[in-house]
Copies of this chain bind each other. A is one copy, B any other.
């Protein structure tokens, strides 16, 4: 757990506290510092799902892939995560996960499903074919983005937008769907798999940018592929990541989003994809 100068745990580390209940079962809860308009920020929920794998006593290796399906709205009350190694091989391990919570009627219900892959990586030839965009302003030279007062989670990130701001006028004028920003935890915190996972969901809905229309929208499935090990994440420290996202298709109520996250040194740490519901 990362402690700030005041000695208090970082809000992310507070959110990641999961208590073992029984074999494969952990209890946790949404953290108010990561609250979204309704329920928690999806990125923090993805990080909590991964955390159940990370602290599982049978875990083999480090995260390579994670898919989180947001099946229903998570309520602001305790939940239980079940994380099971479905198949353990010599160097890879496949996980199935469920998050359950009593619904409004008090009935236990599945709210999140997920799968994950962890692996003991071996050193191989490596290369990146998606280089960090050139001619970027340095994070220090970009003004911090304003934060919407009615939502708490953006306050947990230091975001410095380079291109693709949220529309100022919601006038339905079409644009591209690209957003590019420097981002890190607020307060700063050394990068690890959990924080990288949370960052993978940091973009506002692409349809807002694309159409300048504030239609209701929400991620229904997110996949993260990790292209770094724990050592590379640790070396990134509390530095900024360049995060970039855009959509390829909007069709009858759902659109996709593909995104990349590089550290300042240019290592492509993660690629991530979503399918997102939108209303109109």
A residues near B (Cβ < 8 Å) are 64-65, 67, 69, 71-72, 86-87, 89, 92, 94, 96, 98, 109-111, 113-115, 117, 119, 121-130, 174, 176-177, 210-211, 220-221, 223, 225, 227-229, 246-254, 256, 258, 260, 268, 271, 273, 275, 277-280
Max chain B Cβ within 10 angstroms of own Cβ: one of A111, A121, A129: A129
A129 contacts B275, C-beta separation under 8 Å: no
A251 contacts B126, C-beta separation under 8 Å: yes
Instruction: Report the 5 A-B pairs with minimum CB-CB distance, sorted nearest first.
Output: A71-B87, A227-B249, A71-B94, A130-B248, A121-B252
How many angstroms from the CA of A96 to the CA of B112 in the assembled complex? 11
Known: A96-B113, A117-B69, A250-B127. A64 touches B220 (CB 8 A): yes
How many angstroms from the CA of A223 to the CA of B127 in the assembled complex? 22
List residues of chain B with CB within 8 A of the CB of A98: 86, 96
How many angstroms from the CA of A225 to the CA of B280 in the assembled complex? 19
Question: Residue of B at shortest CB range from A252?
Answer: B121
List residues of chain B with CB within 8 A of the CB of A87: 71-72, 109-111, 113
List residues of chain B with CB within 8 A of the CB of A117: 69, 220-221, 275
B128 contacts A221, C-beta separation under 8 Å: no
How many angstroms from the CA of A86 to the CA of B210 in the assembled complex? 32
B64 contacts A273, C-beta separation under 8 Å: no
User: Which residue in B109, B247, B271, B273 is a CB contact (below 8 Å) of A249?
Assistant: B271
A-B contact pairs, 30 of them (CB 8 A): A65-B69, A71-B86, A71-B92, A71-B94, A86-B98, A86-B113, A87-B113, A96-B96, A114-B115, A115-B115, A119-B254, A121-B251, A121-B252, A121-B253, A122-B252, A123-B252, A124-B252, A124-B253, A126-B251, A127-B210, A128-B248, A130-B248, A130-B249, A225-B256, A227-B256, A228-B251, A248-B260, A248-B268, A258-B271, A271-B273
